């Protein structure tokens, strides 16, 4: 969370209009899903990696680690597709585990590969977006797209509250730890429970104080704030065109 947030705010294309960055990610995702071919998925991954690392100057390692964090979910869901489980004997290649037969076929493997590369391409596109665009800008983009104000307000308050509550959480954990609250599994469990309920109370009191301070600044209905300024880059269009053309070419070539 923190590391993604940090690069989102410090990367080289932070100032770029989120609509342009979102547009690039969207092109990649749509083509990846529509063309549905392993080569397209892999190419998308390459594109997004290159854009994040060369254009936005996000370290390759950070991009890789974000992808790696998502990989287990992806692999787990692939198991179900690649392997078939049956009570009746399966044709080779298969293994027998007690009463169960565990097998796989060329079709299911091909299906799994397609799914894997497609998901990989989409995940890479989303990673490019979140590593280069702070949530703040994404919320701003949604505001421009006329998402209902109540939702926008909820999102922006939640995003801010995450950091405020994280600070509270750290303070409370330290306070408990100095009084040996985490010496031993039982005590740790008890302390964590207390922490949870206290954090809830803390959040509740904070929300009341926040309400007061917003009212004192003239709150009336939705949270109205200045729209943010962004830089628009002509290159983004060329990149978008090249991205779409290359994905379509690879998709058509097969």
Partner 1 sequence: MTALLELEQLHYRFPGSAEAALRGASLCLEAGQRVALVGRNGAGKSTLMLHANGLLRPSAGQVRVAGEPLVYTRRGLLAVRRQVGLVFQNPDDQLFSASVVQDISFGPMNLGLDIAEVRRRVVEAAALCEVRDLLDRPTHALSGGQKLRVALAGVLAMTPRVILADEVTAGLDPWMRRQVLAIFDRLVAQGVTVLLATHDLSAARRWADQVAVMEAGQVVAVAPSDAIFGDAALRRLIGADE
State the sign of the Cα–Cα–Cα–Cα dihedral 25, 30, 33, 39.
negative
Provide the minimum distance between the beta carbon of 233 and partner 1 in the complex, in angstroms, as a whole number: 17
How large is the angle between the packed helices 2-10 and 106-132, nearest 10 degrees?
60
State the sign of the Cα–Cα–Cα–Cα dihedral 180, 186, 192, 194.
negative
Provide the minimum distance between the beta carbon of 166 and partner 1 in the complex, in angstroms, as a whole number: 9
By beta-carbon proximity to partner 1, the closer residue of 200 and 215 is 215
Collapse the DSSP code of 84 into the 3-class scheme (helix H, G, I; strand E, B; otherwise coil) and give the result. strand
Provide the minimum distance between the beta carbon of 1 and partner 1 in the complex, in angstroms, as a whole number: 11
Question: Which burial class, exposed, middle or buried, applies to 81 when counting CB atoms under 10 A from its CB (0-12, 13-18, 19+)?
Answer: middle
Provide the minimum distance between the beta carbon of 191 and partner 1 in the complex, in angstroms, as a whole number: 24
By beta-carbon proximity to partner 1, the closer residue of 197 and 216 is 216
Provide the minimum distance between the beta carbon of 209 and partner 1 in the complex, in angstroms, as a whole number: 4
By beta-carbon proximity to partner 1, the closer residue of 16 and 43 is 16
C-alpha 21: how far from its chain's center? 15
By beta-carbon proximity to partner 1, the closer residue of 217 and 234 is 217
Cβ neighbours of residue 103 closer than 8 Å, sequence gap 6 or more: 83, 84, 86, 90, 91, 92, 93, 94, 95
By beta-carbon proximity to partner 1, the closer residue of 73 and 163 is 163
Cβ neighbours of residue 70 closer than 8 Å, sequence gap 6 or more: 123, 127
Binding site for partner 1 (CB under 8 A): 5, 9, 134-136, 156-157, 159-160, 163-164, 167, 206, 209-210, 212-220, 223-228
């Amino acid at each position: 969370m923190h590391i993604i947030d940090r690069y989102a705010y410090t990367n080289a294309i932070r100032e770029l209009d989120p609509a342009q960055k979102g547009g690039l990610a969207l092109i990649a995702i749509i083509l990846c899903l529509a063309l549905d071919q392993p080569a397209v998925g892999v190419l998308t991954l390459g594109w997004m990696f290159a854009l994040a690392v060369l254009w936005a100057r996000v370290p390759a390692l950070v991009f890789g680690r974000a992808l790696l964090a998502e990989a287990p979910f992806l692999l787990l869901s692939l198991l179900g597709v690649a392997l078939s489980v049956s009570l009746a004997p399966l044709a080779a290649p298969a293994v027998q585990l007690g009463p169960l037969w565990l097998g796989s076929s060329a079709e299911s493997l091909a299906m799994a590969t397609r799914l894997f590369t497609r998901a990989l391409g989409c995940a890479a596109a989303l990673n490019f977006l979140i590593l280069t665009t702070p949530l703040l800008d994404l919320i701003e983009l949604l505001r421009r797209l006329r998402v209902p104000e109540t939702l926008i307000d909820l999102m922006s308050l939640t995003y801010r509250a995450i950091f405020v509550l994280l600070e509270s959480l750290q303070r409370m954990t330290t306070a408990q730890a100095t009084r040996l609250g985490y010496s031993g599994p039982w005590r740790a469990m008890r302390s964590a429970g207390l922490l949870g309920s206290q954090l809830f109370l803390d959040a509740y009191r904070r929300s009341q104080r926040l309400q007061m301070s917003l009212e004192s600044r003239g709150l009336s209905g939705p949270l109205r704030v200045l729209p943010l300024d962004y830089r628009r880059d002509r290159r983004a269009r060329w990149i978008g065109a090249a991205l779409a053309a290359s994905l379509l070419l690879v998709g058509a070539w097969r």
